[in-house]
């Protein structure tokens, strides 16, 4: 970008930029609820059929799928499914002789999920700019960034850092399932907030320890996420 941004924006853009767009849109649960009862699916007989079946599950799922869940769905041993997942990942990465895809199969703390590759961030961001409906506002992103790096943190502490009221944006983040109450301050009794696993899934990371340090984003800042607590 060429426009000049205020100091707090890079922190918010950090989370905004990391929000990779999952390939899947349809809800696995929704489809399961609306589908007519059917007999148990036939067990895939060939490796290609097994890989195709697992790919279908990954595309329609709206959450990461662990190996046991996949194995139950395709009625195959977990060890066989693990090998299939590795084959699929290598195929997407171009290691099986084909081209490298614009998406990747990423392993998270709670399972496996498809994500757009970081190299495609520019086109993904452009799409997000076009489809702005439901998108978090700049204020919400900044508030989310503060909570992510300073948690557990109270509403008042977040407001002091941002120098504005955060009541409405905090409600939005809680409603979106990205932020939740994690306890109360022993000193003041104020409610403390922290991020949820849904944020880790949205960012495509295993834990908050994988959040980049703030120093490269804010001039003169040498604080990491752990130091900011």
Using the structure block, give the residue that is written with the tokens 């392993």.
107
What SS3 state is found at 90? helix
Q: Does one domain contain both 116 and 140?
A: no
Structure-block tokens of residue 181: 């109450």
The pTM for the full model equals 0.46
CA–CA distance, 35 with 161 (Å, rounded to integer): 49
CA quadruple 43, 44, 50, 55: dihedral sign: negative
Domains contained in the chain, number: 2
Range 95-104, long-range pairs (CB < 8 A, 24+ positions): 103/23
Its domain, for residue 85, covers: 28-120
Q: Does one domain contain both 43 and 105?
A: yes
Q: What secondary structure letter does DSSP report for 22?
A: B
> Is residue 25 within 8 Å of residue 103, measured between CB atoms?
no
> Is residue 190 within 8 Å of residue 156, measured between CB atoms?
yes
> Does 82 score more than 70 pLDDT?
yes
- pLDDT per residue over 100-158, tens digit each? 999 999 999 999 999 999 999 889 888 876 655 567 888 888 999 999 999 999 999 99
CA–CA distance, 7 with 217 (Å, rounded to integer): 9
Q: Does one domain contain both 77 and 111?
A: yes
What SS3 state is found at 2? coil
CA–CA distance, 144 with 202 (Å, rounded to integer): 13
Confidence of residue 224 (pLDDT cuts 50, 70, 90): very low
Q: Please report, for the domain that includes residue 112, its CATH number.
A: 1.10.10.10
Q: What phi and psi, each to the nearest 5 degrees, are found at residue 195?
A: -85, 160
Residue 41 falls inside a structural domain: yes
The residues near 6 (Cβ < 8 Å, ≥ 6 apart) are none
- pLDDT per residue over 8-46, tens digit each? 555 555 666 555 445 444 455 555 555 555 555 555 558
Residue 18 falls inside a structural domain: no
Decide which of 61, 92, 120 is a domain's last residue: 120
Q: Does one domain contain both 101 and 148?
A: no
Decide which of 120, 148, 167 is a domain's last residue: 120
The residues near 10 (Cβ < 8 Å, ≥ 6 apart) are 217, 218
Name the nearest CA neighbour of 170 among 131, 137, 211: 137
Structure-block tokens of residue 135: 């998108």
> Is residue 144 within 8 Å of residue 178, measured between CB atoms?
yes
Q: What phi and psi, each to the nearest 5 degrees, are found at residue 220?
A: 85, 0
Structure-block tokens of residue 17: 């930029």
The helix (run of H) or strand (run of E) holding residue 209 is none
The pLDDT score that the predictor gives to residue 25 is 46
């Amino acid at each position: 970008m060429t426009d000049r941004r205020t100091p707090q924006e890079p922190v918010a853009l950090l989370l905004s930029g990391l929000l990779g767009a999952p390939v899947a849109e349809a809800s696995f649960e929704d489809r399961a609820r609306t589908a007519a009862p059917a007999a148990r699916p036939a067990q895939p007989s060939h490796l290609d059929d097994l890989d195709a079946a697992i790919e279908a599950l990954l595309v329609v799922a709206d959450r990461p799928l662990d190996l046991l869940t996949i194995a139950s769905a395709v009625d195959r041993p977990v060890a066989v499914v693990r090998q299939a997942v590795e084959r699929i990942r290598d195929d997407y990465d171009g290691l099986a002789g084909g081209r490298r895809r614009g998406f990747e199969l990423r392993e998270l703390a709670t399972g496996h999920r498809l994500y757009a590759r970081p190299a495609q961030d520019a086109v993904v961001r452009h799409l997000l700019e076009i489809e702005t409906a439901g998108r978090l506002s700049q204020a919400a992103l900044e508030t989310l960034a503060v909570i992510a790096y300073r948690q557990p943190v109270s509403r008042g502490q977040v407001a002091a850092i941002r120098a504005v009221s955060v009541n409405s944006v905090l409600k939005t983040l809680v409603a979106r399932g990205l932020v939740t109450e994690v306890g109360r301050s022993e000193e003041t009794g104020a409610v403390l907030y922290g991020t949820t696993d849904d944020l880790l899934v949205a960012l495509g990371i295993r834990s908050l320890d994988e959040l980049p340090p703030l120093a490269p984003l804010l001039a003169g800042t040498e604080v990491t996420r752990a130091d900011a607590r």
